[in-house]
Amino acid sequence: MGRLFGTDGIRGVANTYPITCEMALKTGQAIGTYAKQSGYGTVIIGKDTRISGDMLESALAAGVASTGSDVLLAGIIPTPGVAYLCTAIDTAGAGIVISASHNPYQDNGIKIFNRGGVKLDDEQEDRIETDILDSHIVPRGNVGKISTISDSLKLYADFLLDGFPFGKLNKRLKIIIDCSNGAASKIGHLVFKDTWFDTRFIYDSPDGKNINDDCGSQHTQKLQRLVVQEKADLGLAFDGDADRLIAVDDAGREITGDCILAVCAKFAKETGGLKKEVVVSTIMSNIGLTKALDSMGIHHIKSDVGDRRVLEEMKKSGAVMGGEDSGHTIFLDHHTTGDGMLSALKLIEVMLGTHQTLSSLASVMTVYPQVLMNVNVDASRPDFTKIKPIADTIQAVETDLGDKGRVLIRYSGTQPLLRVMVEGPDPELTEKYCLDICNSIKKNI
């Protein structure tokens, strides 16, 4: 694996290999055939607001239809919306999302869901990748139909809101919502209704090129200022395909995925909703999350990086809650994948259920200063733990930190880089430790 598929589908610059019309056509043929072989005759296609989305949608749809599978176009919809439709539509054998998530508009990508709304596993990706690259698919015979799901957003909004009794609110929370000029721009107005909440939307006017442009979950500075200026209870920032959520509390502080996970896990345990009393996050999660969960008596399991890896560990352990600090949070008792909209609703549910401000709730977790640096290395990827000067430097830092921090070093999955992450109790000292390790790597690799 790795020729086409990365950690989350196929990614690249739009109109440049592998994100070209030709490759999209072949990908559509491979997925159409995969759906038919699975015993289902329909593939759902959704997209975010990038200007290249229409072009890729047309090529993918043509590829799917050429295999005899039907296509249902969901239009502009969050990635987890397509995952939901893969469970709600009986004939759906697969779902495709055209999105590059939080990346700039020039990029695009192709994410694939199985029937049931779960992303492909490694073996399934390998199988589809082989069909794409080796041209195993030779269309012949029947041609599939291409149709539109006219009410895709309503279906998804109804699914999200099921179980949240917001119609009985005693207080209308004041919320400012940053849609990142992406897939959240329309669905946000359906979910966060002004009959329930005092809402103000920003960055909800996509033009094909302004997605994630100094806005959204990666750029919360304006949202933070507005929350304070307008005395809002909460700020919500989504990424381009709305599978991530970063929140802003009433004091204007950014609340990342780890803290959202801690807040929701505490409430779920107290209300009897945290099955197995276990939470899964990745090895990149802040050490503060581990300490917070430990203090609550919640078992913390760490997976490899990526929401797919989080989900794998959740299924193994029976956990119903897991996520990444980047804002992918999975509530497995409600949905099959990370969902920014659902995460926002869950966070609001906690605020209303506890009658506490988000700043008060967020105090459950102390966020340790974290420094992440990248070091360029050659393609040979030597085992740095066996290079004595590097190992000695790492050991010295870990000894100094003790139980007040940690070191995590790993090779990038896509670039010739060593990623060095250090957490510690003090920002300046943490940065110094990270630089010490990086300098040792540069000298000795």
Secondary structure (DSSP) of 407-441: EEEEE-SSSSEEEEEEE-SSHHHHHHHHHHHHHHH
Distance separating alpha carbons of residues 69 and 93, to the nearest angstrom: 9
Residue located via tokens 């060095």: 420
The catalytically annotated residue of 101, 185, 217, 326 is 101
- 171 confidence band (pLDDT: 50, 70, 90): confident
Residue 89 has pLDDT above 70, yes or no: yes
pLDDT at 101 over 90: yes
Mean of the per-residue pLDDT values for the chain? 94
Q: Residue 49 CB: number of other CB atoms within 10 A?
A: 26
281 is annotated as an active-site residue? no
pLDDT in tens, 121-151: 989 999 999 999 987 676 778 899 999 999 9
Q: Which residues, 6+ apart, have CB-to-CB distance to 247 below 8 Å?
A: 234, 235, 236, 237, 254, 255, 260, 344, 347, 358
Torsion of CA 7, 288, 302, 418, to 10 degrees: 50
User: With bands split at pLDDT 50, 70 and 90, how would you rate the model's confidence at 385?
Assistant: very high
pLDDT of residue 163: 84
User: What does the pLDDT read at residue 166?
Assistant: 80
CA dist., res. 11 & res. 23, Å (int) = 12
Distance separating alpha carbons of residues 55 and 58, to the nearest angstrom: 5
Q: Which residue has the tokens 């390998």?
A: 126
pLDDT at 115: 94
Q: Record the pTM.
A: 0.92
How much is the average pLDDT of 341-355? 96
Domains of the chain with CATH codes: 5-150 (3.40.120.10), 172-253 (3.40.120.10), 255-362 (3.40.120.10), 370-444 (3.30.310.50)
- pLDDT of 13-66, one tens digit each? 999 999 999 999 999 999 999 999 989 999 999 999 999 999 999 999 999 999
Beta carbons within 10 angstroms of residue 292's beta carbon = 25
3-state secondary structure of 241: coil
Q: Determine contact, residues 280/331, Cβ cutoff 8 Å.
A: no
